[in-house]
A and B are shown apart, each in its own frame.
Chain A
Amino acid sequence: MTRILAVSAGLSTPSSTRLLADRLAAAARSELDGDAAVEAVELRDYAHDITDNLLTGFPGARMRQVLDRLDAADGLILVTPTFTASYSGLFKSFIDVVDPESMRDKPVLLGATGGTERHSLMLEYALRPLMAYLRAEVVPTAVFAAGGDWGSDAGLDQRIARAAGELAQAVQRRPAQAKADPFTEPVPFEQLFDEATTR
């Protein structure tokens, strides 16, 4: 079964960021014909764990579980509020404790919320380059929901459906690969030596 992890960096309860994440997750699930386990992570619940991880250099037991779920996911839905012209600090701190290898080639659907649609290109100039740096496979459609979108018919539903369809296709093309484990398949010393000493 396909596993999708929806990560929401909203801070308030209830949160429109979580609402968007849930809508995207439900749409992705239906695009995958229901054959998908969709889980949600609310970063607010892990704010202290994320900070501890930044300070100590290792994830605590709770944080480890989230990172393991991210590792195992076939696709990610990442949704952040727009703060001061970019993704939120909590969102970035979370990304900073994720092993970059976990993001490599991972199908990702990006979403963001903000007070007005003036912020919507944040997805393109801030969030998408961050994911490009991590070599994630980001689907073409990123979904921004401004305050007004929740009432009027501004095409939010269509954008969600299109993005979810793209994510479903990406996930089906490229199911999650297990990361290489240097502890079970170490590089033999002879090879290390050759690499180290070759001019």
Chain B
Amino acid sequence: MQFGVFTVGDVTPDPTTGRTPSEAERIQAMVAIAEKAEEAGLDVFATGEHHNPPFVPSSPTTMLGYVAARTRRLILSTSTTLITTNDPVKIAEDFAMLQHLAGGRVDLMLGRGNQGPVYPWFGQDIRQGIPLAIENYHLLYRLWREDVVDWEGKFRTPLQGFTSTPRPLEGVPPFVWHGSIRSPEIAEQAAYYGDGFFHNHIFWPPEHTRRMVGLYRQRFEHYGHGRADQAIVGLGGQVFMRARSQDAIQEFRPYFDDAPVYGGGPSLEDFMRETPLTVGSPQQVIDRTLTFRDYVGDYQRQLFLIDHAGLPLKTVLEQLDILGEEVVPVLRSEFAARKPAHVPEAPTHASLARAQQQNTEGSTE
């Protein structure tokens, strides 16, 4: 099982000091978090993509390329790459280039984006969100698998004899996760292609996650990619930890109370009861995270949101230390002990390259 962090990339004032980091500080903080994730023994760093303040990560492959040069082992991903407003040709090119630079340590998560004004800024219409996701991904899928593509669609200018360069590393397209909180169409899409499905999971009751993942698994099997329990599932999670749970609660509360997504709504305690948010001791985070499996089944990737709501970088790096030293090693062995042998791990470049090699050998025999 893979563990990692995902970041929204928001510039949020620290409510305890009133200080707002500059864009430069926030961008450098995101890089520091990625490097620390590798150092702490985590597997994945994923960045959001946004095109409006107060968010900084408008150019994920630029950032991930830089992180790739400063890490050796970490898988670089996104949360999410906007399949609606980006040109699928540019996604194909950018991520293939990143694959080559990072030695294959790349996958990506596709999402639609929920900020209405962003769509017209990129010449699109949010009411076409699902059709855009479906048509654009179909083109992206082909660009990575067919050397020469003829294409005519509803949303993009046609292509005649187009070759997306560079070709994917070793002919192996990056693994794709489709992320959606509540659109069954996206679970259906992920299942149809046999791709991964990621549920953000946080800010919502587990029931939403259970239904979306359940649908994806059932349809994954329907489309003949394997058994339902062999589908590739990722989940988000949000945690804040201190050795003593009351210290964690006390330190996190002002961030919760002022956070753009939380402030003025249910109490921290209500939110912890109704959603996967876990603020407490490392053991409480372990116990809570293990329960996710009860409603989504054995899954392959767990990403934590830890740099949110204006938390200072120093605190975030401490959280990574706790994750790396006390939480993730236990979760690795506990999840491994529960996982049946026929449930696969998350695909990596190496495993996909091996599978492709075996397919080629099998078909030439």
Measuring CB to CB, which residues of chain A are less than 8 angstroms from any residue of chain B?
51-52, 55-58, 60-61, 182-183, 186-189, 192-193, 195-199
Contact = CB atoms under 8 A, between A and B. Distances in A.
B154 A199 contact: yes
10 contacts: A56-B203, A56-B271, A57-B204, A58-B204, A186-B187, A186-B215, A187-B184, A189-B191, A196-B131, A197-B131
Interface stretch (B35-43, B241-249, B262-270, B349-357): B262-270
B136 to A, nearest CB: 9
B153 A192 contact: no
A57 B203 contact: yes
Contacts of A56: 203, 265-266, 271
A196 B205 contact: no
A51 B203 CA distance: 16
Contacts of A182: 184
Interface in B314-351: none
B134 A192 contact: yes
Contact of A192 (B185, B214, B271): B185
B134 A197 contact: yes
Contacts of B188: 186-189, 192
A183 B187 CA distance: 10
A13 B78 CA distance: 53
Interface residues of B, number: 31
The SS class assigned to the B binding surface is helix
Given A56-B203, A192-B189, A183 B265 contact: no
A186 B219 contact: yes
Contacts of B1: none
Contacts of A52: 265-266, 270
B192 interface: yes
Given A57-B203, A58-B204, A186-B215, A193 B134 contact: yes
A51 B266 CA distance: 9
A1 B362 CA distance: 63
B72 interface: no
B130 A192 contact: yes
B253 interface: no
Interface in B174-213: 184-185, 187-189, 191-192, 203-205, 208, 211-212
B192 A189 contact: yes
Nearest to A188: B188
B154 A197 contact: yes
A195 B131 CA distance: 7
Contacts of B271: 56
The 6 closest A-B pairs by CB, nearest first: A196-B131, A55-B265, A189-B192, A196-B134, A182-B184, A52-B266
Contacts of B203: 56-57
